[in-house]
Structure 1
Amino acid sequence: MPTAGRLAGAVIFGLFGWYLAGLSIPLFPESNSPDFWLPVVSGISLVIGWRVCGSRAGHGYNPAIGIGLTCGAAIAFCAVFAISFNQMIINALANRYNGGTMEAVIDVFNQMIDFAIMFADIPLIATLLIGGVVCAWITEYFGQRFP
């Protein structure tokens, strides 16, 4: 059911995801990110803001800290999974997997490790965690103010 907390969470986290995606572009090789990177990360963040943070808005600012950290971790995991899955599809279309489907599925997780190491940047991680908490607090404010 739509509430002000869910709407605020979706909007705030969607904008935050757009900012994070833009912040992570220089970390790609030759600063060349895929064309879908900005909209996909902001879409993932929008959904996480609606489903995770917005649904829990209105319970207080202390629980919002944990919710913000959870949302930040979920955004990071889903974004790394999306880029890894895309890379697996590119490799599969180039016939790089001789072992079949299982080799491709396992390679998604190997790609996730590679991309996670590539994105292991202190300012990006700090922005992800602190920004997640701030976005959760803003969502909490709207969840309490407009129930």
Structure 2
Amino acid sequence: MPTAAKTIAALCMAALAFLASELVKTLMPDIQNFGNFSIFNAVVGIVVGWFVVGHRAGRGTKDAIGNGLTGVAALIFWTLFMQAGYRMVQQSLKHRYDGPVEAFAAIFEIGIEYGSLLMNPMMIAVFLFGALITGYLSEYAARHWR
């Protein structure tokens, strides 16, 4: 059921995912063609915001911070998993893996490689600030717009 809290959470997470994706592009100078990288991550942000953050909104201000942090953790997990899976498929089409088990294991190796880029003070600050804003705004929407 659509609510204001779910809508606000989805929009905030999409904006955070888009902003973080644009910042990650500056950390990866060896890749020139990103395609729809930021837009794809923003769509993942919409889904995570709607189902994770928006669903839990309305439990109080104290829980709003935890709700935002949970949403950001879910956003990071799912975007890393989806991007790593996409890269694995690209590499498997070039016959880089000997079998399906090796290709499946490569998803996690690639995910760790991408995740190491996020261990940057700028990225951590963006995610923490985005978590606080998302949690607070979704809580505000849950309380004021029923």
TM-score computed with the length of structure 2 as normaliser: 0.94
SS in 2 for 1:43: helix
1:17 aligns with 2:17: yes
Fraction of identical pairs, as percent: 29
Cα pair 1:27 1:119 within 8 Å, conserved: no
Aligned to 1:35: 35
Aligned to 1:73: 73
1:51 aligns with 2:51: yes
Deviation track 1:22-64 (CA, whole Å, cap 9, x = no partner) reads 1211111336352121111101111111001111111111101
CA distance in 2, matches of 1:79, 1:130: 18
Q: 1:125 to 1:33 in 2, by over 3 A?
A: farther
Aligned to 2:86: 86
Structure 1 ranges of 4+ moved more than 4 A? none
CA distance in 2, matches of 1:44, 1:114: 20
Aligned to 1:138: 137
Alignment length (residue pairs):
146
CA distance in 2, matches of 1:7, 1:67: 15
CA distance in 2, matches of 1:60, 1:33: 43
Gaps of 5+ in 1: none
CA distance in 2, matches of 1:69, 1:107: 28
Gaps of 5+ in 2: none
- Bigger Cα displacement from structure 2, 61-70 vs 21-30: 21-30
CA distance in 2, matches of 1:125, 1:5: 25
Root-mean-square deviation (Å): 1.3
TM-score computed with the length of structure 1 as normaliser: 0.93
Cα pair 1:26 1:32 within 8 Å, conserved: no
